[in-house]
């Protein structure tokens, strides 16, 4: 997997995307200075906002998570298996939610994985950003047979990035889902599409990117984004089913470049779109 740092983006994308890459945030961005590492059994798994450090100390203690604040960050130890660790994280998550520190609660669980891919626990999707844990998501860049790009406009009721442009389908991988299942579920829910609607769909190179950056509205986005690129058959059009997309736009590649540089896309969708456009230049 590739770490999508600003330096990597500047090398991976051509100069026409410079306004976009110049604004990209990563672990070296100025807002990152107020976060400390969250370390479990010696492995750096998350990022905690220091303005809430006292609260985190109290909540972790109440949830029976043995944690100690050190100069290196918040060090936690656990000798229990995934089921009990999941229960402790659920307890901590509910307390943090009651304190208003877990916005956008979804009642959806995702897997917390070690760097080696071992399942450590499951946790509420929204808690991943509060604790800066690495989640997983799928993004799909879709074009029509003429090479124009289908984009979605996010609903104004979305907690994150309301009203911004997005890939035609994108979403988190639930704890019980495979990557392929998430891909086709999101395409069905967000765009009303299935495999019969595509002339082709394939992984976009690079296929997996790790994005890690502080969020301007609070918390930390730490996610493995799995990218796909597809082309619809002539006459096939998207149709939203879940209410999370307010409209669809068919955009020329040049219009997409302008929108990316103007920060009209969500950051993750902008990166996916830029990589796809660069691959098909």
Residues 199, 229: Cα–Cα separation, whole Å: 11
Q: What one-character DSSP code corresponds to residue 188?
A: H
- Cβ-in-10-Å burial (0-12, 13-18, 19+) of 38 comes to buried
What domain count does the chain have?
2
261 and 203 both lie in a single domain = yes
* Phi, psi torsion values for 262, nearest 5 degrees: -90, 5
Q: Which helix (H) or strand (E) holds 113?
A: strand 109-113
| 119 lies in some domain | no
pLDDT in tens, 95-109: 999 999 999 898 999
Q: Beta strands 2-3 and 198-214: pairing type?
A: parallel
Asked if residue 208 and residue 224 are part of one domain, the reply reads yes
Q: Report the pLDDT value the prediction gives residue 159, as an integer from 0 to 100.
A: 79
11-43 per-position pLDDT tens digit? 999 999 999 999 999 999 999 999 999 999 999
Instruction: Encode pLDDT of 175-221 as tens digits.
Output: 999 999 999 999 999 999 999 999 999 999 999 999 999 998 889 99
Q: Note the pTM of the prediction, 2 decimals.
A: 0.93
Domain that holds residue 74: 31-112
Same domain, 169 and 271: yes
Helix, strand, coil shares of the chain, percent, nearest 5, are 35, 35, 30
Count helices and strands in the chain by DSSP H and E runs: 8, 14
Please tell me whether residues 146 and 242 are part of one structural domain.
yes
Residue 44 shares a structural domain with residue 18: no
Is 120 among the domain residues?
no
- Picking from 76, 97, 112, the residue at the C-terminal end of a domain is 112
pLDDT at residue 271 greater than cutoff 80:
yes
Are 145 and 260 part of one and the same domain? Answer: yes
49 within some domain: yes
* Residue 261 and residue 19 in contact, taking contact as beta carbons nearer than 8 Å: yes
Report the CATH number that the domain containing residue 75 is assigned in CATH.
Answer: 3.30.750.160
């Amino acid at each position: 997997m590739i770490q999508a740092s600003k330096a990597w983006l500047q090398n991976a994308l051509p100069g026409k995307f410079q306004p976009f890459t110049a604004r990209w945030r990563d672990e070296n961005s100025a807002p990152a200075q107020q976060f400390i590492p969250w370390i479990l059994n010696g492995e750096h798994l998350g990022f905690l906002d220091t303005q809430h450090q006292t609260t985190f100390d109290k909540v972790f203690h109440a949830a029976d998570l043995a944690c100690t604040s050190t100069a290196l960050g918040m060090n936690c130890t656990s000798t229990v298996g995934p089921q009990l660790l999941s229960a402790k994280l659920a307890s901590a998550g509910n307390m943090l939610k009651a304190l208003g520190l877990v916005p956008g609660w979804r009642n959806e669980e995702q897997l917390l994985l070690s760097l080696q891919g071992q399942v450590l626990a499951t946790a509420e999707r929204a808690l991943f950003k509060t604790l800066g844990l690495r989640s997983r998501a799928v993004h799909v860049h879709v074009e029509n047979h003429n090479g124009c790009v289908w984009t979605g406009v996010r609903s104004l009721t979305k907690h994150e990035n309301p009203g911004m442009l997005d890939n035609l389908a994108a979403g988190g991988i639930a704890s019980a889902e495979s990557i392929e299942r998430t891909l086709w579920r999101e395409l069905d829910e967000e765009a009303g599409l299935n495999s019969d609607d595509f002339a082709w769909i394939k992984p976009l190179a690079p296929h997996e990117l790790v994005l890690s950056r502080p969020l301007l509205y609070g918390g930390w986005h730490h996610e493995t984004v799995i990218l796909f690129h597809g082309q619809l058959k002539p006459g096939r059009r998207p149709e939203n089913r879940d209410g999370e997309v307010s409209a669809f736009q068919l955009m020329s590649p040049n219009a997409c470049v302008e929108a990316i540089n103007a920060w009209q896309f969500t950051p993750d969708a902008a990166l996916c779109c830029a990589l796809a456009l660069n691959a098909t230049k």
